[in-house]
Amino acid sequence: NAGVTQTPKFQVLKTGQSMTLQCAQDMNHNSMYWYRQDPGMGLRLIYYSASEGTTDKGEVPNGYNVSRLNKREFSLRLESAAPSQTSVYFCASRAPGQGKHGYTFGSGTRLTVV
Amino acid sequence: QQPVQSPQAVILREGEDAVINCSSSKALYSVHWYRQKHGEAPVFLMILLKGGEQKGHDKISASFNEKKQQSSLYLTASQLSYSGTYFCGTDPNDYKLSFGAGTTVTVRA
């Protein structure tokens, strides 16, 4: 039972490079989320997908794009990486049912932009 | 808008109690609590719905006062395993959570 799987675990990019962070869940969850975590700021929502085929912006979407490829997969793309995007990125998923379930998080991707 | 957590950090000896508070400027449907160990992913502890309910998880319990838009997490008779950073997550509709900045709990023997 893998839960939420994120790849890669670590990545170093040069300013201006692009990359895609991958996330997949095997729990048949409808909702998926991307958060970034910076010291002292908690987790901030970048984008989310309430169901397959839909995506919406969160609190800090600038500089990112997402794709909900199917029910299992939700990817996050940085088109032109900037040092301000150095962070730990967490993907999460959640089963349907308002007020019933918490989020299951992946193990995170630690991204450094130099 | 992110909820506000207090205190930012607390240091305990094994067996001591602590309270972590979470407040929001918005009306809330629910409050989530998570714990994150260093270098790991956050782990879901519990969800509380409006109605003033309380919940427990081992010796960790929580309350939710929707009129005051506040929730409190209670660590009772703390154990070494309780160390970590605790986050509350809130949303007016329990749809997409905003998280507080976290409270770091250190339990010492």
pLDDT average, residue stretch B55-82: 90
Q: How far apart are CA A23 and CA A59, in angstroms?
A: 20
Cβ separation B99–A99 shorter than 8 A = no
Establish if B9 touches chain A: CB-CB under 8 angstroms. no
Cβ separation A98–B43 shorter than 8 A = no
Chain segment B29-47, per-residue pLDDT in tens: 889 999 999 999 999 999 9
pLDDT average, residue stretch B66-94: 92
Establish if A106 touches chain B: CB-CB under 8 angstroms. yes
Confidence of residue B53 (pLDDT cuts 50, 70, 90): low
Letter string b/e over residues A6-41, b meaning 16 or more CB atoms within 10 A of that residue's CB:
beeeebebeeeeeeebbbbbeeebebbbbbbbeeee
Residues 70-89 of chain A with CB under 8 A from chain B are none
Measuring CA to CA, how many Å separate B54 from each of A41, A56, A99, A100, B16?
27, 32, 14, 15, 21
Sites in chain A below the pLDDT cut of 70: 1
A68 neighbors A49 (Cβ within 8 angstroms): yes
Cβ separation A107–B41 shorter than 8 A = yes
CA distance A57 to chain B (A): 11
Establish if B30 touches chain A: CB-CB under 8 angstroms. yes
pLDDT value of position B27: 86
Strands A19-25 and A74-78: antiparallel
A30 neighbors A95 (Cβ within 8 angstroms): yes
